[in-house]
Amino acid sequence: MLINTGVPTREQIERRLPSPERRARGPYAMVECFQEIPCNPCSTSCPFDAILPMGDINEIPMIDHDRCTGCGVCASVCPGLAIFIIDESVGDGTASVTIPYEFRPLPEKGETVRAVNREGCVIGDAIVTRVLLSKKTKTPLVTIRVSDGLVHEVRFFNLIDDKAVSDATSLKRKEEPITVDSACASDDDEIILCRCEGITLRTIRDLIREGYTTVDEIKRISRAGMGACQARTCGPLIAAEIARMTGQPISEIQPSAHRAPVKPMPIEFFLGGDSE
Amino acid sequence: MSVPKSASIVIIGGGVSGCAIAWNLANRGIKDIVLLEKDTLANGSTGRCGAGIRMQWAAEKNCRLAQYSVNFFENGNEILGYERDIEFEQSGYLIVAANEKEAEQFKKNVKLQNSLGIPSVYLTPEEAREIVPLIDTSQFVAATFCQKDGHLNPFHTTDAYAKAAERLGVKIFKHTEVIGIEVKNRRIESVETTRGRIATNIVVNAAGGWSKAIGAMTGVDIPTYVQRHQIMVTEPLEPILNPMVMGFSYNIYIQQVPHGSIIMGRSDNTEPLDFRTTSGWKFVEEMTKTCSKLLPALKTANVLRQWAGHYCMTEDAQPIYGPTPGVEGMYLACGFSGHGFMLAPATAQLVSEMILGEPLTIDVSNLDVGRFERRELVFEHSVV
C-alpha cells in the first residue's frame, strides 16, 4: 500500500498511462502523484496547458496526453519529484526515462548507471543519454535509456562508482513490513515536515525532546498540521517521528483529530439556499 | 513514572486555570505541588476556546477580574520567562449593539468600565466602520470599542504557565487520571490516580467540565454542567480584520488572529449538554449566515476547519471560586462558562490567596459555591 510503503500499486500506475497509440507516438509525462496535497506547480507551469487547471489546490493533477509534448517542464518543477518523462517511441528495443535528479555528482552523457525501480532495488543497467540543467528550478533532468521492458519500472539510478549506495539499495527487499526507521527517519533536520506552515523536522524533533509526545501537542505548540492540508500530509510523518524517538509502536500514537470540512470551502458555500 | 507519595497541594486539571494556579502558588514559595492532567495540557476548554481577551463586561466584578488579567498578560512573557510568545495582541474588541435596548445597556457598560479605568468608548456605526472597514453599518445601531482587549494564544499561554511552574518545582503529570479522592472526617486525605496514590490535605478542583465528577468523588455536588460550543476557522489571510468583532444579540464573535486565520464562534442553546466534541452542520450554516451579514466581504474566505469544545457552565454563567462546604481542603476554580481562559491570572491569584488565607486582591466572596443554594446568583449579560 502506498500509504505504508511509499510504493504505488500496479493498478495505480496503469491508470495513469496514456493509450498505447499515444505511447507509440512520442514522449509523454507520467505523473506519479497519488495523494491529495495542496500543491499545483505542475499545472501552472505546463506551457501547453496539458496538465489541467485545478479547481482546488488539493486535487491530484490530471493530464491531457494529447496536448502533452513530453517537454519535461513539469518534471523539473514538481517539488515531490513525482513526474517522469517516458519515451517508448524509438522502436529499437529500448526506451528512455527522464528523471528529476537532485543528487551530486551528476552523471555524464554516455555513462552507464544502475537502473533502480520504485522500491529502490537495482534491476538492470542504463545509459545516460541527456543531462539537462534547469537554471529556473535547479532540478536537473537526467534521461537514461533502458531496455523497453523496464521503462515502466525504472524511476531512479545509482552511479556505478558509488559502491556503498549501490550495495545498500540492491539488497533484496525484506519480507517484513517497513519499519518506522526506514519509512521516515531522515538525517537532514532541515527538511520541511509540515509544508503548509513551514515547520522543519528539527522543530518537530526539538519538541519531542521537550516532552511533547502526541501529534496534537506538537500541533498546538508549533502549528504543524493546522494549515490547508489539515495534517493529512504531515500528521503521519510526525506520528512516525514520535514513535521512532520515544520507542513506542506507531499504532499507539494517537493521530490528530480530523474535522470538517475535508477540503477548504468558501464561507458562501455554506450559506445554502435559505439565506436572505 | 509514578506520582509522589505525598504533596502539599494537588491541583486537578491541566488547563490554563490549573497551570496558572500551580505557578502562582509555587511563585509564592509553596513546595511539593503536584498537578494532574488526564490527557495533555490545554486539551479541554482552554485549547478549544476562541482565544479572545476582553475587559468590556457589564458586571463590575468581571471588569475587575479581566482588568487584572490583561495587566498580567501585557507582561506575561517576561513574568513567566517564556521563550516562545504567548501572542498577546491588543488589537481591540468592537462590540456591536443590534438594537436600541442593547445600545442603552452599552452606554451604561462604558460608564462603568471607564470608572474602573478601562479605556472603552461608545461609537456610532460610522465611527465603528473607521475601525473595521469591512463591517456593514446597516446591521447595528451602535458599538463599543476597547483597544486594550485582544487575542492571546491559549496553547502557548498554558505552556508558559506550566513551564514556569515546573521551573519552580511543580510536578506536572500528563496522562494521569484522578480515579478517587479519599475523605476522612470531612477532610481530604489523599488522591488516587492511575499512577498511584498521593497523600494530601489540599485539592484544587480546576477540572473544568469534569469538575462535577471530581466533586462527586468527595460526595459533593458541584453545580456545573457542560455544553458543547463550536468554532470554525478560515485559511490565513492578509490582515483585514484588526479587532475582535462581537455581538451579543447577534450571537457572534469573530477575530483575525496574528497568524492570519479568522476564528469565529457562536452560542446555541440547543447544543448537547454532554462531553461530545463532534462538529455539526447546523453550526456552520448559522455561523456563515451571521458572518456574511455583518462582514459580507468574508464570503469568499475559505473555511479550513471547524471544531468543538465545551463550556463548563453554571446557572449564572459566572465562575465558582473558593472552598467547598462539607469537604475541608477542596478548593474550586471551575464553572467559567466560556471565559475561563481570559480570567486565568485573576483566578490563579485569588485561589492562591484563598488557600493561603490571605486577603483577596479582588473580593469574589459572592462567587462561592454556596450562592446557588442561597439563590444569590450573580448574572452577567454580556456573554456569547
Report pLDDT digits (tens) over A155-210. Answer: 999 998 654 444 444 444 444 444 444 344 566 788 899 999 999 999 999 999 99
State whether A140 and A226 are in the same domain: no
B297 in contact with chain A, both atoms CB, cutoff 8 A: no
Low-confidence ranges of chain A (pLDDT < 70): 1, 161-187, 272-276
B82 in contact with chain A, both atoms CB, cutoff 8 A: no
Confidence (pLDDT) at A181 = 43
Looking up residue A230, the CATH number of its domain turns out to be 1.10.10.1100
State whether A143 and A184 are in the same domain: no
What are the two backbone dihedrals, phi and then psi, of residue A216, each rounded to the nearest 5 degrees? -65, -40
Report the gap between the CA of A260 and the closest CA in chain B (Å): 6
What are the two backbone dihedrals, phi and then psi, of residue A73, each rounded to the nearest 5 degrees? -60, -45
DSSP for A215-245 reads HHHHHHHH-TT-STTTTTTHHHHHHHHHHHH
State whether A32 and A163 are in the same domain: yes
Three cell numbers written together for B188: 481530604
State whether A162 and A189 are in the same domain: no
Report the gap between the CA of B175 and the closest CA in chain A (Å): 11
State whether A50 and A163 are in the same domain: yes
Cβ–Cβ gap A267/B288 under 8 Å = yes
Please tell me the distance from the alpha carbon of residue A83 to that of residue A72, in angstroms, as a whole number. 8
Of A217, A264, A276, the CB nearest to B304: A264
B167 in contact with chain A, both atoms CB, cutoff 8 A: no
Three cell numbers written together for A234: 504531515
Domain-located, residue A111: yes
Domain-located, residue A161: yes
CA-closest candidate to residue B54, choices B113, B13, B5: B113
Closest residue on chain A to B160 (Cα): A221
B159 in contact with chain A, both atoms CB, cutoff 8 A: yes
Q: SS3 for B327?
A: strand
Who's near A145: CB < 8 A, 6+ residues apart? A94, A95, A96, A126, A127, A129
- Tell me the chain B residues in contact with residue A257 when contact means C-beta distances shorter than 8 Å: 307
- Tell me the chain A residues in contact with residue B298 when contact means C-beta distances shorter than 8 Å: 267
Report the gap between the CA of B42 and the closest CA in chain A (Å): 9
Domain-located, residue A25: yes
Per-window interface: B 220-239 vs A, CB < 8 A: 234-236
CATH topology of domain B93-146+225-313: D-Amino Acid Oxidase; Chain A, domain 2 (3.30.9)
Report the gap between the CA of B375 and the closest CA in chain A (Å): 40
State whether A33 and A90 are in the same domain: yes
Number of domains in chain A: 2
- Cα A245 to Cα A181, A274, B1, B170: the distances in Å are 10, 52, 18, 26
Confidence (pLDDT) at A162 = 52
Q: Please, are residues B194 and B1 in contact by the beta-carbon 8 Å criterion?
A: no
- Cα B209 to Cα A82, A218, B206: the distances in Å are 48, 24, 9
Cβ–Cβ gap B303/A268 under 8 Å = no
B300 in contact with chain A, both atoms CB, cutoff 8 A: yes
Q: Please, are residues B165 and B352 in contact by the beta-carbon 8 Å criterion?
A: no
State whether A48 and A86 are in the same domain: yes
Of A261, A267, A276, the CB nearest to B299: A267
State whether A152 and A26 are in the same domain: yes
Confidence (pLDDT) at A35 = 87
- Cα B312 to Cα A202, A237, B136, B194, B277: the distances in Å are 38, 35, 33, 24, 13
Domain boundaries, chain B: 9-48+155-223+316-374, 93-146+225-313
Cβ–Cβ gap A266/B299 under 8 Å = yes
Domain that includes residue A217, residue range: 180-252
Picking from A170, A201, A219, the residue at the C-terminal end of a domain is A170
pTM, entire model:
0.74
- Tell me the chain B residues in contact with residue A226 when contact means C-beta distances shorter than 8 Å: 305
Cβ–Cβ gap B299/A268 under 8 Å = yes
- Cα A152 to Cα A12, A24, A87, B202: the distances in Å are 12, 14, 10, 70
State whether A145 and A69 are in the same domain: yes
Cβ–Cβ gap A259/B285 under 8 Å = no
Of B43, B279, B288, the CB nearest to A270: B288
State whether A30 and A165 are in the same domain: yes
Cβ–Cβ gap A268/B288 under 8 Å = yes
Coarse DSSP helix, strand, coil percentages of chain B, rounded to the nearest 5 percent: 30, 25, 40
Coarse DSSP helix, strand, coil percentages of chain A, rounded to the nearest 5 percent: 30, 20, 50
- Cα A97 to Cα A148, A187, B372: the distances in Å are 10, 29, 77
Q: Number of residue pairs across A and B with CB atoms under 8 Å?
A: 72
Domain-located, residue A265: no
Closest residue on chain B to A268 (Cα): B299
Picking from A148, A170, A192, the residue at the C-terminal end of a domain is A170
Cβ–Cβ gap B292/A265 under 8 Å = no
State whether A109 and A214 are in the same domain: no
**Chain A residues within 8 angstroms (CB to CB) of chain B:** 214, 216-217, 220-221, 223, 226-228, 230, 257, 259-261, 264-268, 270-272, 275-276
Q: Please, are residues B232 and A270 in contact by the beta-carbon 8 Å criterion?
A: no
CATH architecture of B9-48+155-223+316-374: 3-Layer(bba) Sandwich (3.50)
Please tell me the distance from the alpha carbon of residue A209 to that of residue A204, in angstroms, as a whole number. 9
Q: Taking chain B (384 residues) in consecutive chunks of 10 residues, what is each chunk's mean pLDDT? A: 95 98 97 97 97 95 97 95 95 96 96 98 97 96 98 98 97 98 97 98 98 97 96 95 94 95 94 91 94 94 95 95 97 97 98 98 96 91 77
Residue from B237, B284, B295 to probe the interface with A (highest A Cβ count within 10 Å): B284
- Tell me the chain B residues in contact with residue A216 when contact means C-beta distances shorter than 8 Å: 40, 43
- Tell me the chain B residues in contact with residue A271 when contact means C-beta distances shorter than 8 Å: 285, 288-289, 292, 299
Confidence (pLDDT) at B114 = 98
Cβ–Cβ gap B279/A264 under 8 Å = no
Domain-located, residue A267: no
Closest residue on chain B to A263 (Cα): B304
Write down the ipTM of this complex: 0.90
